[in-house]
A and B are shown apart, each in its own frame.
Chain A
Amino acid sequence: MVPLSWYLIFAAALFSIGMFGVLSRRNAVAILLGIELMLNSVNINLAAFWRYGDVHLMAGQVFAIIVFAVAAAEVAVGLALVISVYRSRRTVVADEIDMMKW
């Protein structure tokens, strides 16, 4: 049997990788890719806790499904924004999108 710790460390590693992507990539689409990785790591955790807890309690899976839904929504909106920004500013480089600057 695979111990719970493996899943968790695996998820943590995937999360960190995704976070690195979020923090470091210049391309907005790439940032979204990083986010997808982070969300997946969370889902692994949820599924693992479901399996290693009481399997009759479906909370883990339910939440994983909701995360899917949220992820789908996020991607949809995020990509729409990227396209919109790209249209108006002709760039998708996150560094250059700094209208919030002082």
Chain B
Amino acid sequence: METTTLIWLIPLPPLLAFFLIVLFTNRSKALSHTIAVGAAALSFIGSMIVFVRALGVEHLGEHPFESAINWLPTGDTWFRIGVLIDPLGAAVLFFVAITIFMIFLYSVGYHNYGQPAGDHDVKGLPPHGATVTDEHGHKHVVPSVEPMYSRFFAFLGLFAFGMYTLVVSDNLLTLFVGWEIMGLCSYLLIGFWYGKPSARDAAVKAFMTTRVGDVFMLLGIAFLYSATGTLTFREIFTEETLHALASTPAWFGMTASGLIALLLFIGTVGKSAQWPLHVWLPDAMEGPTPVSAMIHAATMVSAGVYAVIRMFPLLTADWNGHELTTTMTIVAFIGAFTALFAATIAVAQNDIKRVLAYSTISQLGYMIAALGIGAYVAAAFHLITHAFFKALLFLGSGSVIHGMEHGVLHTGNHHVDPQDMYNMGGLRKKMPITFWTFLIGGFALSGFPLVTAGFWSKDEILADAFGHGHLAVFVTLAIAAFLTAFYTMRQITLTFLGEPRTEEAKHAQETPWTMTTPLIVLAFFAVTYGWVGISEHFPILGGLVPNWFHDFVGHTLAEVPEAPEFSWIPLLTSLVVALGGLALGYLTYRNVKSVSEDKFQIPLLKNKYYFDEAYNFLFIRPAYWFAENVVYKFLDKGVIDGFLHAFGPFTQGTGSALRNYFDLPVINRAIGDGSAEITYWFGGKLRGIQTGRVQQYLMLALVTFIVIGAALYFFVFAA
């Protein structure tokens, strides 16, 4: 098959699966998940074929796989949409395909396929477990299958469609389409257990917060389209177009390219949960499973970073290579700030998924900061490595929670929160596969030197920041990296090490193979993927393995970016913060028995710097107040309708004035009644001659006749 045809086909199987499940098979759980997983497998195979073929092309950067069709007529021209796989696209497609396929597989186990239906389970709420009787007559409570199992797979399919569309798009508009479809899916999945008010509100919050970014992004797309007449990446990223954009002044003292990039970046801020639009992501953990959480956190939010990487030429169009432009400064600032900010919050969280959520925000901030200082390849590299190990961590946490739920069902104490790390402890013995894979993921996240992928990518970012002289960014990121290692170790220590702190933790169980297989696969990549991007300048190891990633992805750009000169300072820094953080984390939490002993439960951090409360106070409630009181009650009901309703009395007033002061006296009295009265008066006078006597009439007629005749004769004929 033609590669381009294949690329067109990649997003379709999951979409088809979505429609098939929704329309036809949603009653059959087996059929539904078969279709969904099969569709994911098809897309996965297609993606791998494309990836392999892409590797085989000499100058993929200059001659990517591309194909386009007419989509929207716009006056005399057409807006074309199409697919594009260039090196960046291929690299992203690779990790997207793997993670998505793993998610599908994992979901089968997580939602307890094959287990009996729950005793009291209802749609819209998490399953509560089912009572079964074994052959000895003992009753056990076992996990029950998710009541909306098929629906979950339908949503997953739609989500996969959105993600694939985003990746294979050759233009910003279809990228945005995929972007928004994922937004919808995140809404649907976060609100999957819509019966819980918290989940419902989190869903709305996620949608609305990202939509704030989206409308700016839409504006940026419109701006870009207006300014260049195209949204196709390859047409925008030509020298002339970029130059024209960079030299066009726009508003606020920025160039057109800078302003467009900023607007698009705000979209990313929403999607990738950067400060100040980060608030939705932690709440998104209300999603039913770590699976959906992972979808948001490890895959969809990556899309935001992917978009910025895609638009990197635009972002840097007016960059001279040294002084950061306004837009880049903003990007770098937000990235670096978010990286640190989120890391501090993560330290104080006790929910295993929330820690990971804040960690994700923080890591995305890393990538954004890297892009802000022009470190294109490093950002892309970290994007991909992060996707692997963060997916691993989320799935691992899902596995932990699943195991804990088993314990909860065993004891029957439903007040124990299976996600609270202080309820765990010592799980390494109960869930060995989960433990080891989680450990790998955690180390990768912390940037454990040499063996983990996280180390290489994070190191590259730090090296870039240092090498190009952005010391503020460097220091901030270094502190964030330290905190990352610290809270990661805290998490591992609290969850897996030590002794079980609760009865439930003692009865936790390892999860089925559908859940552990993805963990192993991802753990593999979390380690090895780092090796494809080791800088040539790295001491000893540099050059052993060619820096394939840099070569490959770097060629996406017209000018391949230079790798920074090697320096010991960033390397040592990253070694120190990673190892130091891990060590400190272990030491601090090694003996912590309960939450009250945790020194970092600072209210400010615990409450996420009160951002939710502040936003609620500053935006949400004023908006509702404005909508209800100003727009609806005051403007519409008060002013406009008041004006309209005033028409009634006004018209009536005018009418009664006319009636009382004109109609009644003038028309009625004087003219109407007056004429009648005059006639009446005359009639009264004249009726005397209406005697009814024929002879008198005749006399009268004759008199008249004679008078008129005489008058005529004398005055007319005779005259």
Contact = CB atoms under 8 A, between A and B. Distances in A.
Contact of A101 (B692, B698, B702): B692
17 contacts: A22-B695, A23-B699, A23-B702, A31-B695, A94-B693, A94-B694, A94-B695, A95-B695, A97-B692, A97-B693, A98-B691, A98-B692, A98-B693, A100-B692, A101-B690, A101-B692, A102-B687
A81 to B, nearest CB: 12
B690 A23 contact: no
A24 B694 CA distance: 11
Contacts of B693: 94-95, 97-98
A52 B151 CA distance: 126
User: What 8 pairs across the A-B complex have the smallest Cβ distances?
Assistant: A101-B692, A98-B692, A100-B692, A102-B690, A102-B687, A98-B693, A23-B695, A95-B693
B74 to A, nearest CB: 87
A2 interface: no
Contacts of A24: 695
A100 B692 CA distance: 4
A102 B690 CA distance: 6
Contacts of B691: 98, 101
Nearest to A31: B695
Contacts of A22: 695, 698
Interface in A46-78: none
Nearest to B689: A102
A1 interface: no
Interface string A85-102: 000000000110111111
Interface in A20-42: 22-24, 31
Given A22-B698, A95-B695, A100-B692, 20 more contacts: A22-B695, A23-B698, A23-B702, A24-B695, A31-B695, A94-B693, A94-B694, A94-B695, A95-B693, A97-B692, A97-B693, A97-B694, A98-B691, A98-B692, A98-B693, A100-B690, A101-B692, A102-B687, A102-B690, A102-B692
- Chain B: interface size category: 10 to 19
Contacts of A23: 695, 698-699, 702
Interface of B: 687, 690-695, 698-699, 702
- Chain A: interface size category: 10 to 19
A72 to B, nearest CB: 22
B214 to A, nearest CB: 90
Contacts of A94: 693-695
Contacts of B695: 22-24, 31, 94-95
A38 to B, nearest CB: 12
A22 B694 CA distance: 10
A26 to B, nearest CB: 9
Nearest to A101: B692
Contacts of B690: 100-102
A76 B692 CA distance: 23
Contacts of A102: 687, 690, 692
A99 B694 contact: no
A98 B693 CA distance: 5
A98 B692 CA distance: 4
A99 B692 contact: yes
B681 to A, nearest CB: 15
A80 B702 CA distance: 27
A74 B626 CA distance: 97
Contacts of B692: 97-102
Contacts of B699: 23
B661 to A, nearest CB: 38
A22 B702 CA distance: 12
A24 B698 CA distance: 11
A95 B690 CA distance: 13
B599 to A, nearest CB: 118
A98 B694 CA distance: 8
Nearest to B688: A102
A97 B687 CA distance: 17
A16 to B, nearest CB: 11
Nearest to B697: A100
Nearest to A19: B702
Q: Which of B687, B692, B698, B702 has the most CB of A within 10 A?
A: B692
Nearest to B694: A94
A60 B699 CA distance: 30
Contacts of A97: 692-694
B686 to A, nearest CB: 10
A98 B699 CA distance: 16
A98 B695 CA distance: 11
A101 B697 CA distance: 11
A25 B589 CA distance: 145
A100 B687 CA distance: 12
A94 B695 CA distance: 8
Contacts of B694: 94, 97
B418 to A, nearest CB: 109
A94 B687 CA distance: 19
Contacts of A95: 693, 695
Contacts of A31: 695
B226 to A, nearest CB: 89
B700 to A, nearest CB: 11
A22 B695 CA distance: 7
B178 to A, nearest CB: 97
Contacts of B687: 102
A94 B699 CA distance: 14
B210 to A, nearest CB: 93
A91 to B, nearest CB: 13
A102 B702 CA distance: 21
Nearest to A28: B694
Contacts of B698: 22-23
A98 B696 CA distance: 11
Contacts of A98: 691-693
A51 B545 CA distance: 156
B695 to A, nearest CB: 6
B683 to A, nearest CB: 9
Contacts of A101: 690-692
B105 to A, nearest CB: 111
A52 to B, nearest CB: 25
A63 B702 CA distance: 25
A100 B693 CA distance: 8
A35 B567 CA distance: 149
A94 B692 CA distance: 10
A79 to B, nearest CB: 16
A23 B698 CA distance: 7
A24 B690 CA distance: 18
A48 B693 CA distance: 35
A54 B260 CA distance: 120
Nearest to B698: A23
A102 to B, nearest CB: 5
A100 B690 CA distance: 8
A24 B702 CA distance: 13
B690 to A, nearest CB: 5
Contacts of A100: 690, 692
B296 to A, nearest CB: 100
B149 to A, nearest CB: 100
Q: Which of A94, A101, A102 has the most CB of B within 10 A?
A: A102
Nearest to A100: B692
B290 to A, nearest CB: 107
A102 B691 CA distance: 7
A95 B691 CA distance: 9
Nearest to A26: B695
B320 to A, nearest CB: 113
